[in-house]
Structure 1
Amino acid sequence: MAQQELKRELENRHVQLIAIGGTIGTGLFLGSGRAIQQAGPSIVLAYLIVGIAVFFVMRALGELLLSKAGYQSFTDIAEDYLGPRAAFVTGWTYWFCWIMTAMADVIAVGVYVRYWFAIPQWVPAIVCLVILLALNLLTVKNFGELEFWFALIKVVTILALIAIGAVLLVIGFHTDAGKVTLTNIWGHGGLFPNGVTGFLLSFQMVVFAFVGVELVGVSAAETANPEKNIPSAINKIPLRILFFYVGAILALLCINPWTELSPAESPFVKTFTLVGIPIAAGIINFVVLTSAASACNSGMFSTSRILYNLSRNDQAPVAFGKLNRNHVPRNALAVSTLVLSGGALLSKLIPGQAFGIVTTISAICFIWVWGIVLVCHIRYKRTNPQLQAKSTFKAPLTPFVNYAVLALFAGILAIMLFASETRPALLLTPLWFVLLYALYAVRRRKVRLPLSEGAVQEG
């Protein structure tokens, strides 16, 4: 029987908006308040540094994906350049960190709906999962359409914030927090009011803000004309970072002195309320609701495709590789959704610490995945001169920039060790990798997988 394949139904507009949606999410709408409190105005520099690093990761991923037509995702790339064990660990780690992230978002859906309706928090969370599951089981194009509209709502909101900020700045508008002015950015303790320490501690949340940008790579197998659409989406990432992150944060800081923003609430809600829009709270509540639903939708898509890819490579149960008549990995999608539904339990057990723990673990795991991409790209540059000669989408400044970004990621992990909020998760996360290496060893004995790159299968 011919092997079932994913269907290429994602159009250019889907890929472009998936790329935008991947760079705008809960980390910006909710997490930016905490990050601003830690770093003050220097948070803009933190977003720039991490954004540039992520762009180089994506250029490396883009070159790798387009170097071989059979690549489905970066797990295939890891297997080719680092061996099946690295692919196994990376694939399951990517699944795990998206599960952790999406758990928090599906819980958030329940919280946001309670703003309008006095119903138990778990009810809208489950309803959201069921609706997203039903739509994703139909065709991959449904995922693309959902992300298109979810991302569009986020984009319009940020555009509105920047436009309102510019107008208020020009007219010198006064709010309850004072006059809207550029001096609000540096006039309350300077650019580094909490010193270098506060600036460095903000990097964990900034990294979390960028998780999901690599969805362009995950969707490669289902993208029509990937040679054109993937480079186009990746090359626009720097402009999106400058506009949607730097532009939005600068607008927030002009309207609100950073000292007026609370880590416990969305700075976007605070800003729209300050400028006197009567229904601001309801508008932003709707936006963060769609943002959470978008992140959950992305989580369901990415985790199901990772399980599908792991199954195809004999690194997960065969059932996860089954596609329905719409070419959607139904079993992988159903299992991921079932695990996601356990997010309500996490919220109940540790409601106060859940968000911080989840975002820290997610950031650590994404740093692993991004680091694997960079290491694979270094190996690719060393071992495949023939493929490089044919490449039409070359990553710039390699391998120097690869090592520089890897050093930055290592530094961010070291910083997490010195912060009381992130240290527990950083110390616990290695247990996940120990578990994966143990599971790989057990599975290798059962199905006789090779031990490492270049090893010959037994028997």
Structure 2
Amino acid sequence: MHDAPTAAGKTSAGGGAGEAEPLSAGLKQRHLTMLGLGGVIGAGLFVGSGAGISVAGPGIVVSYLIAGALAMLIMRMLGEMSSAMPASGAFSVHAERALGRWAGFSVGWLYWFMLVVVLAVEATGAAQIANGWLPAVPQWGWVLLFMVVFTAANLTGVKNFGEFEFWFATLKVGAIVLFLGLSLLAIFGVLPDTDPVGFTNLTGQGGFLPRGWDGVISGVMAVVFSFGGLEVVTIAAAESADPVRNVARAVRSAVWRILFFYVGSMLVIVTLLPWSSQQPGKSPYVAVLNSVGVPGAGQIMNVVVFVALLSALNANLYGSSRMIFSLAERGEAPRSLLKIAGGGVPRRAVLASVAFGFVSVLLNLKWPDSVFLYLLNSVGAVLLFVWGLIAVSQLRLRRRIERTAPETLTLRMWGFPYLTWAALAAMGAVLVLMLMDEGSRPQVLWSGVATGVVLAVAGLRELRARRVRD
């Protein structure tokens, strides 16, 4: 059953109609918009895109279009459900309402687990960059500093999180806009000592698809996970003054602009430079800036990547704390995590997420190629499982909402139900292709084990609840 909005436009994460969301309403529209934009503009784009270019060539543009289209469909589904039923648990709450407690439990805990593990990668990556600038401070010292700073920011009020993310995202978006502007000037030969590039790099060296459609599909597998993080905007919307209107606006603006930034960046990169010159692990952005004569390009991008990593760390800490708080609200996590501090901050939920984040960081620093690698592989494909449950939930809830409260459908999924089914088929295809790929197979298998464990726990809880009822 769907929850009717309260007078404040908000509902509780687990509750019935009229239950006010206990969290604060400190996020503004500008925070949500920039969170939607900045949440996925990270190291995956600035550095990881080089791996995609190396396997797909100029066809990486098509790969990003396909992966971006899938992300847009998921966000549209999320936007539809979140604008009709805003809640701090977002898609976990939707899954519970659509499919039952087992689904809400499973998707909530899987997403929380994914965020706190990936948080370790971001903290360690930012510490490595900072250690290069100031070697006197050990890497673990930087990690400790970052974790303490962002824990404090998340403990003192949601508006602090919003401000951090707003300025982080502004810097990242500004960097991409400047990059696109310089690249276009270089392509048309406007910059000093440059001649028009033309389409040589796009059509030479094997053509636009030098490795055929196999290369494009490999590119999709390499880049689709870089769109993870968009979901946080629907979690954050519940802590804004007008979640129904704000989530719709944020979703509409974010998906198109992000697609523009991603696809636009890839297009100018493969136009300016031969695709065969790209190397996995090396930033194609640095290569482009060096080619157009920007002094200190490497250090400039280091600063941007550093900010991107800290931004993702901040967003993941926020998203994980709200997800576990929502689980606790619905009795799917310890009730002690429901303690709300002044200003409407779930401090125990924040500290619980930080605690596991610290454990992940320690594992990454101590055993990066063994224990932590298994942990990282166990969340490698979880995003696709989460997206899959989002799509199934939307299929079920859309028809229910149309029967009970059609006026709440202020943002509708395109081409329902056909595009929802198409998105599910695309996610299934990506999983099958990852299983067939030797490099990606461990991620799917370990993620499958993690998902199986969570589903088993959810099933046991359901059996126990039935026995109690009977």
Tell me the TM-score normalised to structure 1 length.
Answer: 0.91
Cα deviation code 1:70-124 (max 9, x no counterpart) = 6741111111110000110000011111122222111101111122111322211
| Partner Cα separation in structure 2 for residue 168 and residue 39 of structure 1 | 23
Among candidates 141, 144, 156, match of residue 126 of structure 1? 144
| Partner Cα separation in structure 1 for residue 252 and residue 408 of structure 2 | 19
Q: Give yes or no for contact 2:269–2:284 (8 Å, CA) kept in 1.
A: yes
Q: Secondary structure at the match of 2:181?
A: helix
| Partner Cα separation in structure 1 for residue 345 and residue 257 of structure 2 | 30
Shift of the 362–36 alpha-carbon distance from structure 1 to 2, 3 Å rule, reads: farther
Cα deviation code 1:318-375 (max 9, x no counterpart) = 12222211211111211211222222422542349978983x6545211111111111
1:431 corresponds to 2:449: yes
1:87 corresponds to 2:104: yes
Q: Give yes or no for contact 1:48–1:241 (8 Å, CA) kept in 2.
A: no
Q: Secondary structure at the match of 2:294?
A: coil
Unaligned runs of 5+ in 2: 1-18
What residue in structure 2 maps to residue 325 of structure 1? 342
| Partner Cα separation in structure 1 for residue 107 and residue 33 of structure 2 | 25
- Relative to structure 2, which stretch is displaced further, 248-257 or 132-141? 248-257
Shift of the 71–124 alpha-carbon distance from structure 1 to 2, 3 Å rule, reads: closer
| Partner Cα separation in structure 1 for residue 331 and residue 276 of structure 2 | 53
Among candidates 241, 258, 266, match of residue 224 of structure 1? 241
What residue in structure 2 maps to residue 32 of structure 1? 49
Q: Give yes or no for contact 1:161–1:251 (8 Å, CA) kept in 2.
A: no
* % identical aligned pairs: 32
Amino acid paired to 1:381 = R
Amino acid paired to 2:157 = T
What residue in structure 1 maps to residue 226 of structure 2? 209
Q: Give yes or no for contact 1:104–1:343 (8 Å, CA) kept in 2.
A: yes
- Relative to structure 2, which stretch is displaced further, 79-88 or 364-373? 364-373
What residue in structure 1 maps to residue 325 of structure 2? 308
What residue in structure 2 maps to residue 284 of structure 1? 301
Cα deviation code 1:278-299 (max 9, x no counterpart) = 2222211111001000111111
Among candidates 28, 45, 55, match of residue 62 of structure 2? 45
What residue in structure 1 maps to residue 414 of structure 2? 396
Shift of the 248–318 alpha-carbon distance from structure 1 to 2, 3 Å rule, reads: same
What residue in structure 2 maps to residue 198 of structure 1? 215
What residue in structure 1 maps to residue 274 of structure 2? 257
Among candidates 129, 137, 140, match of residue 112 of structure 1? 129
Shift of the 363–220 alpha-carbon distance from structure 1 to 2, 3 Å rule, reads: farther
Q: Secondary structure at the match of 1:171?
A: coil
Amino acid paired to 1:160 = L
- Relative to structure 2, which stretch is displaced further, 426-435 or 338-347? 338-347
Q: Give yes or no for contact 1:10–1:222 (8 Å, CA) kept in 2.
A: yes
What residue in structure 1 maps to residue 156 of structure 2? 138
Amino acid paired to 1:287 = V
Tell me the TM-score normalised to structure 2 length.
Answer: 0.89
Cα deviation code 1:139-192 (max 9, x no counterpart) = 00111101101111111111111111111111176999x974432123222122
CA deviation after TM superposition for structure 1 residue 275, in Å: 2.1
CA deviation after TM superposition for structure 1 residue 12, in Å: 0.5
Among candidates 283, 289, 292, match of residue 275 of structure 1? 292
Q: Give yes or no for contact 1:106–1:293 (8 Å, CA) kept in 2.
A: yes
- Relative to structure 2, which stretch is displaced further, 281-290 or 219-228? 219-228
Q: Give yes or no for contact 1:356–1:422 (8 Å, CA) kept in 2.
A: no
Q: Give yes or no for contact 1:20–1:240 (8 Å, CA) kept in 2.
A: yes
Shift of the 356–284 alpha-carbon distance from structure 1 to 2, 3 Å rule, reads: farther
RMSD: 2.5
Q: Give yes or no for contact 1:357–1:425 (8 Å, CA) kept in 2.
A: no
What residue in structure 2 maps to residue 406 of structure 1? 424
Shift of the 270–175 alpha-carbon distance from structure 1 to 2, 3 Å rule, reads: farther
1:167 corresponds to 2:185: yes
- Relative to structure 2, which stretch is displaced further, 365-374 or 347-356? 347-356
1:65 corresponds to 2:76: no
Q: Give yes or no for contact 1:204–1:412 (8 Å, CA) kept in 2.
A: yes
Q: Give yes or no for contact 1:103–1:340 (8 Å, CA) kept in 2.
A: yes
Q: Secondary structure at the match of 2:469?
A: coil
Amino acid paired to 2:155 = L
Q: Give yes or no for contact 1:173–1:180 (8 Å, CA) kept in 2.
A: no
| Partner Cα separation in structure 1 for residue 371 and residue 43 of structure 2 | 16
- Relative to structure 2, which stretch is displaced further, 362-371 or 15-24? 362-371
Q: Give yes or no for contact 1:65–1:71 (8 Å, CA) kept in 2.
A: no
CA deviation after TM superposition for structure 1 residue 274, in Å: 2.5
Q: Give yes or no for contact 2:153–2:160 (8 Å, CA) kept in 1.
A: yes
What residue in structure 1 maps to residue 120 of structure 2? 103
Q: Give yes or no for contact 2:48–2:281 (8 Å, CA) kept in 1.
A: no
Q: Give yes or no for contact 1:172–1:181 (8 Å, CA) kept in 2.
A: no
